Structure 1
Amino acid sequence: MDPLEDVLTLLETRSRLSAGLVAGGRWAVRFDAPPVVKFNAVRKGSCQLVVDGVPEPFELAEGDCYLLTRPRSYILRSDPETDPVEGSTVFAGAVDGIARAGQGSDVFLLGGGFAFSNRAQDLLLGQLPPVLHVSAGTPHAETVRWALAAINQELTGRPMAGALVAEHLAVVMLVHMLRLHLEQSPRTASGWLSGLTDPVVAQALTALHGNPAHAWTVAELADAAAVSRSTLAARFKAAVGQGPLEYLAHWRIELAARRLRKDGATLASIARSVGYGSESALSVAFKRITGTTPGEYRRRPTRT
């Protein structure tokens, strides 16, 4: 099992596309902290992105895109001297899926956001920087540009089921953005995403995700990665921030949490499916990691 695919599937990753933004002349638009993980792509022209808490603005050129991994307010603008208007006002006047700012049509941005299941934020994005900026000038960005062009074609051509196809393409774009970040900036990643950049740790992660119910030992994982136990333990802890068996315990709880939400299986059945021998063993681990019991978690209203 591919760990990245595994996590994105577990977290029920889905996209929401928003109205496009056409702007020209001198303009600036302020946006409140988005309730979803926001992305925008510059399909035409150039502009600046200013994110709350990030000291320097990002210069966005045609073909660039970015992902906001934190719920922070931000500004898109032509220049720092123009006073921003509220995004809610600008997008309230959108016509045929296009909002307008300033005068003219020098710039066109395509945007949207990603939503996840309620335990996703820390697992997937908690260790990433607040902004992932993918520059069109890098050769690795070709796949992201392809996805963006395909999204744009689906939205503007409006074929049958075009909106649905565009939303699935946006998830494809997210996968590529995460891949590009790991390839270009492996040292800035941490947590399990960082582990995917280390071939030894990646082998162990793949083994764990392939059979999470197995009673893994560090020795077995070291054999799977073709290194010594001490080497695996040290590299896994350095990359992921926790030992391999501690990581396995947390991943099992993520799997159990999804089953508690998604089906009516008994706690005993869920415990066996994720590698715990009894309801009590799962309950103790679940409370230790999540701070709540499986029963309380199952009854809690779902948040997205």
Structure 2
Amino acid sequence: MDVVSDAISAVRLGRPSSDRVRVAGSWCTRLAPYEGAGFHVVLAGRCWLLPDGGEPVALGAGDAVLLPHGTGHVMADAPRDAAQARRAAPFERWAGRGTPDPENTDGTGTLMLCGKYRLDRTRAHPLLAELPTVAHFPYDPEGHPELRAAVDLLSGELDARRPGAGVALPSLLDLLLVYMVRAWVAGADAGTWPGALNDPVTAAALRALHADPAAAWSADRLAAAAGVSRPTLTRRFGARVGRSPMAYLTWWRMSLAAGRLRDTQDTLATIARHVGYGSPYAFSHAFTREFGTTPGRYRAGDPRGAAGRA
């Protein structure tokens, strides 16, 4: 595993939902704030996204946009003022009627794929927390080929409705999320995590820790895995991640343990071994120090254990 894969896997819940919508003329619909991430892919035509408290974003054919923090927003044929936005039809009611203009076939309308990913923010990796309110990926035939391919495959799958679409579509939507996060990391010119993942030394150390978090890591062993000296790793990792390699490892181990406590009935001994601790006592001590509550109370829903320190 790697940081992006683990960051997404730690928070993803269930299957993504999506609606294919064709519209024309004057239209405006609102999507309320959501405990997850919203996305839109413009398959044909043009439209506008108006995020709550943010600037309008023009979208064209082939564009993808991710709202990773579930920000409420309006989708419309043109920018709207606040009063018009408040009168927008709720998307759930609007999309529930099917495509608002299914007879429009003259190419003047807009065809969109709109959907949501369910996320558990109590275990969010700081990489995802750093994503902007709106991450816009304009169509670019020369850039991010994986993202372009995912958009093209989604369009084809929606058009054809071939056998196996029930498996293919959710899988392509999951790929779309990975490729959007990857494209943001590759293209961001600021931020902690793009800098960390684009630095070869820090990225190598992170890959090693995420590949085997239960290993008996030490600063020296991790430096060897990254191909640098211990002082070099400590300096570069700390400057880009904001904590030492061993402190990050402890945080990530506890995040993985929190997931197992919530999602499984594994014993403390089993979870301790899974995250690299030799005994339930040592694991419980580390978990309590990180989350402010014991593993047993966290599993029972202690509100103090809603999230570890990011």
Q: Which TM-score tier does this pair reach, normalised by the shorter chain?
A: 0.7 to 0.9
Report deviation, 1:99.
4.1
Checking the alignment, whether the CA contact within 8 Å between 1:13 and 1:171 is kept in structure 2 is no
Counterpart in the other structure of 1:228: 229
Checking the alignment, whether the CA contact within 8 Å between 2:4 and 2:181 is kept in structure 1 is no
2 CA distance for matches of 1:194 and 1:291? Answer: 30
1:183 aligns with 2:182: no
Query: 1:109 corresponds to which letter in structure 2?
Result: M
Of the structure 1 ranges 1-10 and 237-246, higher mean CA displacement relative to structure 2 is found in 1-10
Structure 1 residues 52 and 281, CA, compared in 2 at 3 Å: closer, same or farther?
same
1:1-304 aligned at under 5 Å gives the runs 1-12=1-12, 14-54=14-54, 56-81=55-80, 83-84=84-85, 85-88=87-90, 91-94=92-95, 97-99=98-100, 106-117=109-120, 119-137=122-140, 139-185=142-188, 187-191=189-193, 194-300=195-301
User: For each residue in 1:82-111, what CA deviation from the matched residue of structure 2 results, as whole angstroms up to 9, or x when unmatched?
Assistant: 7234342x542446742459x995211111
Structure 1 residues 12 and 26, CA, compared in 2 at 3 Å: closer, same or farther?
closer
Of the structure 1 ranges 157-166 and 38-47, higher mean CA displacement relative to structure 2 is found in 157-166
Query: 1:44 corresponds to which letter in structure 2?
Result: A
Report deviation, 1:169.
0.5
Query: 2:8 corresponds to which letter in structure 1?
Result: L
Q: TM-score normalised to the size of structure 1?
A: 0.86
Q: TM-score normalised to the size of structure 2?
A: 0.85
RMSD (CA atoms): 2.8
1 CA distance for matches of 2:96 and 2:269? Answer: 54
User: For each residue in 1:227-284, what CA deviation from the matched residue of structure 2 results, as whole angstroms up to 9, or x when unmatched?
Assistant: 2222211211222121111110011112212222343332122212212222222122
Query: 1:266 corresponds to which letter in structure 2?
Result: T
Checking the alignment, whether the CA contact within 8 Å between 2:269 and 2:279 is kept in structure 1 is yes
Checking the alignment, whether the CA contact within 8 Å between 2:48 and 2:56 is kept in structure 1 is yes
The alignment partner of 1:50 has SS state of: strand
- Unpaired stretches in structure 1, ≥5 consecutive residues: none
Checking the alignment, whether the CA contact within 8 Å between 1:48 and 1:60 is kept in structure 2 is yes
Query: 1:214 corresponds to which letter in structure 2?
Result: A
Query: 1:230 corresponds to which letter in structure 2?
Result: P
- Percent of pairs identical after alignment? 35
How many residues align? The count is: 298
Report deviation, 1:78.
2.3
- Unpaired stretches in structure 2, ≥5 consecutive residues: none
Report deviation, 1:23.
2.3
1 CA distance for matches of 2:245 and 2:159? Answer: 47
